């Protein structure tokens, strides 16, 4: 819940020129709902995609205050996020709701960005046990081609928030390898797995170069368009 529509306009106008020459990677932003129309206006034709931070599982109806996938598609959104730890813990959203939101996104041609992660800095087997349960329940019933339309964001909950630190590189590599194996066992051949959690200009290149990491999911550091532009330019593995 950052940046008004007016502030988002200034952010986009500062950011876009700094990355206009990048053609070897996919860039996207997920502003708040009120700023989506600004993103459509400022980003159309740039090659930078935009999307939303949440979506309601139903296409329409008596859901005061909610936003449907149809509405997001009409605004030109490509991505929609679901399952973020803040939604899970602040609003009690569980995997069944995430699965319903994912289905809504796919119905309207959006790319679901499903967040998974463990609550504490546990051992790899314990962390994977929790994450695999989230995956199994959140993307249940999807076959390989449908899974390839999904993006998974690994965001350990303990690595999110003011004062937090990114996960150790060996931890990121191990968990993301497990996610890729889990997806491949269900027929996925191109599902991208991102890492998010205290990514900043000092660690972005190292995390991006970690085996298995297909991209970065940036939070607080992206509030500064200059910093986000520098992160967007890190070498790809």
Task: Report yes or no on 77 lying in a domain.
Answer: yes
Looking at residue 162, its pLDDT comes to 87
CB 48 within 8 A of CB 78: no
84 is an active site residue: yes
Task: Report yes or no on 129 lying in a domain.
Answer: yes
Task: Report the CATH number at residue 58.
Answer: 3.20.20.70
Q: Which residue has the tokens 């889990």?
A: 182
**Count of domains forming the chain:** 1
Catalytic site residue from 42, 56, 84, 118: 84
Looking at residue 180, its pLDDT comes to 98
d(CA 128, CA 153): 14
Looking at residue 143, its pLDDT comes to 86
155 is an active site residue: yes
- What is the mean pLDDT of each successive set of 10 residues along the chain, which is 237 residues long? 98 98 96 98 97 98 97 98 94 96 98 97 96 95 92 97 94 98 96 97 97 97 98 90
Looking at residue 88, its pLDDT comes to 93
Looking at residue 161, its pLDDT comes to 87
Longest dimension (CA), the chain: 47
Catalytic site residue from 155, 171, 178, 180: 155
Task: Report yes or no on 237 lying in a domain.
Answer: no
Three-state DSSP at 181 gives helix
d(CA 1, CA 120): 24
Task: Report yes or no on 18 lying in a domain.
Answer: yes
d(CA 51, CA 169): 28
Domain that holds residue 146: 5-232
């Amino acid at each position: 819940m950052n940046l008004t529509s007016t502030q988002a306009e200034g952010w986009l106008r500062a950011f876009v020129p700094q990355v206009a020459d990048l053609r070897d990677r996919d860039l996207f932003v997920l502003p708040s709902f009120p700023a989506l129309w600004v993103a459509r206006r400022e980003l159309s034709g740039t090659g930078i995609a935009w999307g939303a931070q949440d979506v309601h599982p139903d296409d329409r109806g008596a859901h005061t205050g909610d936003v449907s996938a149809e509405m997001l598609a009409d605004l030109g959104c490509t991505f929609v996020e679901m399952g973020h730890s803040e939604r899970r813990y602040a609003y009690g959203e569980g995997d069944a709701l995430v699965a319903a939101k994912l289905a809504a996104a796919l119905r309207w041609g959006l790319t679901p960005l499903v967040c998974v992660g463990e609550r504490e800095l546990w051992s790899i087997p314990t962390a994977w046990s929790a994450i695999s349960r989230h995956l199994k329940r959140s993307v249940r019933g999807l076959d390989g081609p449908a899974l390839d339309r999904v993006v998974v964001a690994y965001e350990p909950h303990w690595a999110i928030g003011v004062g937090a630190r990114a996960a150790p590189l060996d931890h990121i590599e191990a968990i993301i390898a497990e996610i890729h194996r889990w997806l491949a066992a269900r027929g996925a051949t191109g599902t991208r797995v991102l890492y998010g959690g205290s990514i900043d200009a000092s660690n972005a290149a190292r995390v991006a170069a970690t085996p298995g990491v297909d991209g970065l999911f940036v939070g607080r550091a992206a509030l500064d368009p200059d910093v986000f532009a520098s992160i967007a330019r890190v070498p790809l593995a």
